Structure 1
Amino acid sequence: MSSELTEDQRNVLKAIVHNESFYSFDVQRATPKGEGYMGSLFNISLKGERNNLELIFKQAEPTDNVEHKMFVRNAYLREIYIYNNVLNQFENFQKENNVINGFTGYAKIYGSSDKENNEYIILENLKGSGYKMWNRKVPMDDEHVALVFSEYGKFHAVSLAMKEKSPDLYDKLTENLDDFYGRSMSVEESKEMINNVLQIGFKAVESNDSAAQLFKRFADVAEKFLLEDMQNLDEQLVVTHADCWCNNMLFKYEGTQEIQKPNGVCFIDWQLSKIGSPVLDLAYFFFVCTTGNILHDYKKYLKIYHDSVTELLIQFSCDVEKVFPFTLLECHWKKYAKFGLYIALMTLSFMLCETEVPNWTEFIKYEESDREEIAFEGGSGVSEQGQRIIDIINVMAQNNLI
C-alpha cells in the first residue's frame, strides 16, 4: 500500500480546502487495525483561521488477487453509492417532510472516486467531533444498546416511509442494493463458508451437551435459512446497514468526565449495505454486542426500536398499523433473529481475540486451524467466547427462535 496520496488525490483535498474556506491541510497515515476499514487510511487535518476540520481519507487497497480486488472495488462502490445517493436522498426526504429529530447517524461525505484502481472516499472524522468507539471486548450496556436500537429505528423508518409515500423513488434508489458479497460466491462456495462458520459453533459448545444439542438444531436448518429463507424479496423491507458490530459505531457523550451518558451514535462502514429485513441489523448488533441480562430483555429493546420507527412514521403522515405494525416486527424477529447467532459465530471469534482484528470476510476464509488459533487458543477471550455463544443459543431456544 502506498504511504502517500497521489497528486490527483491531493488536488481533490486542495479543492475541499478552498470550498470549505480553509487555507491548508496536513496528511497523516493512520493505522487501520481494529477500525474496520478495507484499505489505506489517512487522517486529514484542514487548517483555518478560526477552526480546523478533521477528515478521514479511505482508499481501496491495491492487490494482485483478482477476486479480492473485485470484492474491494464492489465494497467501495457500494459505500460511495450509499453516501452520495441513499443517505443524501434520505436527508432530502426528511427535510421535505419537515421531520424533526430524524435519522442523522452518519458522517458527512466530502468527496469520492469510483474510478477503477483509484477508489476512495473522504468523510468527516467523527472522532474529531468527540465521538468514541466502544471497547470491542466489553459487552455493551443498557444505555448504549437502547440508543443503537433507537437510531436503527430512525434509519429504517425513512425506508419504510419513502416506500409508502414515494415508491418510485425508493425502487430506483434500491434497485441495485443486493447482497453483492453473497452474489460473488457460487452455491458451493456459500455452503463451504456456512460449514466453516458452523464448525466454530460446534467447537465452542463441544463441552456442553445441552447447548450442543440445541446448536445442532440450528445447524440442521442453517443452510436453508441463509440460502433460501433470507432471500425472500417480499420481506426485504428496508435499506440495512449490514455490518453492525461495535467497531462500526461511534458514540457521543454528555455529562462530566466521571459520569458520561451516551446521547448520539453514528454508523460507519456502509460497504456491505443492502436491502433486507430490518431484523438483520437488529439481530446482528444485539447478539454480537450484548450478553447477560440484556439478552433476556430483548423484548424491551424491540419496543424501543418500534417506538422510534413509529415516531418518525407519524411525522411522515404514515399509518403505522399499515406500514409497520409491531406484530410485523415480531414476525420478522421470529423468522430472522437466528441470523444473529450465525453472525455471532464468526464475529465473536475475532472480536474477543487479543491480536489484530481481521476483517470477518477474510477471517472466515482462513484455514480451520488458523481460525481456531485465533478463536480458542489462550487469552481471556477463549472461555468468554464459548460462554457468550452458549448464552445466545439458550436465549434463542427459550424463546423458540431456533
Structure 2
Amino acid sequence: MSPTISDRQKQFIDEIAKSEGFEHYNLELDQGSLKGDNYFGIITVVTIRQTLTKNELHLILKSALQGEELRKKVPVHQVYERENFFYGVILRELSDLQREHKVKDVFDGTARFYGGLNDINEECLVLENLKTKGFKLWDRKRPMDSHHVGAVMAQYGKFHALSYALKKLKPGVFSKLTENYRNVLNENMSKTEMGDSMVNAMDRALKAVRGNDAAVAGLKRFMETANVFFNQTLKTRDKYSVIQHGDNWCNNIMFKYQDTKCQKPSKVYFLDWQLSGYGSPIQDLSYFFYSCSSKLVLDTHNSYLKIYYESLSAMLRQFNINPDEIMTFRELQLQWMVYAKYGMYMALLILKIMLSEQDEAGDLRDYTKKDQNVLSLFDGDITNTEEYNKRVSIVISHMVKNRFI
C-alpha cells in the first residue's frame, strides 16, 4: 500500500517542486524504511516526475511520529526543530565559512536540504535521496572493517574541525549558535526512564561477560561512577567542545564507492541530526567506534585516532589554524580516556537494536500506554543474543584492557 502524507506536507513538496523548475508533474510516494531503521520518523521516498520531459527529482520526506501519549513522553517536536535548525542554520554557517576561506577539500558529507516544517503535528524535513546518487548503508548486523571505520573517523575529523575554525574565526557567531545547543533527548526525557534503561542495559552487559571477572569488575566500576559521568562530566563545556552529530550508529552513515566490490568508500555522508548537540568530540567518535567496529579494529584504536587527528589537522590548516593550538594528539588521547566510556555505554544499547531481526525491533509507534516506560519498547529479547553477548564482551574487555573503565 502506498504511504500517505498530510495536505500540508503535500503542499510543501509542491512548493519545492516549483522552486526546482517543475510545473507539470506527477508525484510518486513509496515506503522508505522498515521497522527498526528509523526511530524518530517515518521515511517516505518521493519522486517528482516532469510530465513531458520525464525529468525527475528524487527526495526523502522524513516526517514526525504522531500520538498524544508518545509526544508526552518523547520530545518529538524538539528533535525535528533541532534537525531543521542544524540543516537550515548551522550547516549553512559552516558551508559559508568554508566558502569564505576558499577551502578546497571541503566537508560536504550531508544530503542536500530542501527545507522543513516545524508546525506541531506537521514536523518534517525534505532531503535529497542519496540512494539515487549511489550511496549505500552498511549491513547493521556486521562489524565494519578498517576501510570503513577509517573513512568515517576521517570524515568526523573534517566535520569537527569546522567547529574549531568557526569558534576561533567568528567567536560571536559560534557562541550564539551553541548557546542552548544541548542533546534534546537527554534534556527532555524523564530521568526515571533513562535510569531504568541504564539498569536494563547493565543487566544485559553483566550477563554477556559472566565468567570474565575482569570485565565484570570493570562494568561495576563504571556503574559506581555513572551518575557523576552522565550528570556532570558529559555536561562539561570546554575548549575542546564541538557541534556534534550525536546519533552515530551505522544506519545514520551512508557510503559511496568507486570500486565495484564496494570495499573502499570514496565518500561518507552523515544522516539524522536530530540528536545533534554541543560537547566533547569523543562522544561522536566513541559512540561510532564501539558500536560499529570489529575486534581487529578495536585492538588498534590509536591508529584510528590518528586518522581522525590527521584529518582534523588538515582541515584546520586550510583555515591557517595551527592544529596544536586547538588540540594536540596527546590531548586527544587524554580526552578519549575521559569520555570513551560514553561510547561503550551507547554500544550496549545500540548493538541490541543493530542485531535485532525486523520483527524484533522496537518501534515508538507501538507506544500507547501512558504509564509504560517508553524505552521499554527496546528491551525485548532478540534471536541474536549470542552475537550480542560476543560483541559486548569484546567492547568491555577492550575498555578494561586499556583502563578506560
Q: Distance in 2 between matches of 1:236 and 1:329?
A: 9
- Among all aligned residue pairs of Structure 1 and Structure 2, give the percentage whose two residues are the same amino acid: 35
Partner of 2:47: 45
Q: Distance in 1 between matches of 2:75 and 2:205?
A: 26
Structure 1 residue 187: Cα displacement: 4.3
Matched, 1:340 2:338: no
Cα 1:360/1:347, change in 2 over 3 Å: farther
Matched, 1:12 2:19: no
Deviates more, 1:200-209 or 1:55-64: 200-209
Counterpart contact for 1:27–1:44, Cα < 8 Å: yes
Counterpart contact for 2:3–2:29, Cα < 8 Å: no
Q: Distance in 2 between matches of 1:89 and 1:131?
A: 25
TM normalised by structure 2 equals 0.91
Q: Distance in 1 between matches of 2:346 and 2:198?
A: 10
Structure 1 residue 107: Cα displacement: 0.6
Partner of 2:25: 24
Matched positions, count: 394
Aligned AA for 1:373?
D
Aligned pair partner of 2:381 in 373, 378, 384? 373
Cα 1:184/1:84, change in 2 over 3 Å: same
Counterpart contact for 1:235–1:277, Cα < 8 Å: no
Deviation by residue 1:35-78 (Cα, 9 ceiling, x = unmatched): 32523321111224364221001111211216447511111111
Deviation by residue 1:188-223 (Cα, 9 ceiling, x = unmatched): 444333223222212222243332222222222222
Cα 1:194/1:335, change in 2 over 3 Å: same
Structure 1 residue 367: Cα displacement: 4.3
Cα 1:266/1:390, change in 2 over 3 Å: same
Counterpart contact for 2:240–2:326, Cα < 8 Å: no
Cα 1:136/1:75, change in 2 over 3 Å: same
Deviation by residue 1:126-172 (Cα, 9 ceiling, x = unmatched): 11111000000010011100100010001000001100111101111
Q: Distance in 1 between matches of 2:227 and 2:269?
A: 33
Q: What RMSD, in angstroms, separates the aligned Cα atoms of the two structures?
A: 2.3
Matches within 5 A, 1:161-180: 161-180=165-184
1:146 aligns to what SS in structure 2?
helix
Q: Distance in 1 between matches of 2:160 and 2:26?
A: 36
Partner of 1:309: 312
Aligned AA for 2:228?
K
Matched, 1:80 2:84: yes
Partner of 1:291: 294
Counterpart contact for 1:191–1:223, Cα < 8 Å: no
Partner of 2:103: 99
Deviation by residue 1:206-244 (Cα, 9 ceiling, x = unmatched): 243332222222222222211211111226610001100
Deviates more, 1:232-241 or 1:284-293: 232-241
Q: Distance in 2 between matches of 1:115 and 1:96?
A: 33
Counterpart contact for 1:346–1:360, Cα < 8 Å: no
Cα 1:285/1:57, change in 2 over 3 Å: same
Aligned pair partner of 1:280 in 283, 297, 313? 283
Q: Distance in 1 between matches of 2:98 and 2:332?
A: 23
Q: Distance in 2 between matches of 1:349 and 1:210?
A: 23
Deviates more, 1:230-239 or 1:327-336: 230-239
Partner of 1:384: 387
- Structure 2 segments unaligned to the other structure (5+ residues): none
Q: Distance in 2 between matches of 1:232 and 1:87?
A: 23
Partner of 2:404: 401
Matched, 1:220 2:224: yes
Q: Distance in 1 between matches of 2:321 and 2:191?
A: 40
Structure 1 residue 116: Cα displacement: 1.3
Aligned AA for 1:320?
P
Structure 1 residue 91: Cα displacement: 0.6
Q: Distance in 2 between matches of 1:360 and 1:390?
A: 28
Cα 1:38/1:159, change in 2 over 3 Å: same
- Structure 1 segments unaligned to the other structure (5+ residues): none
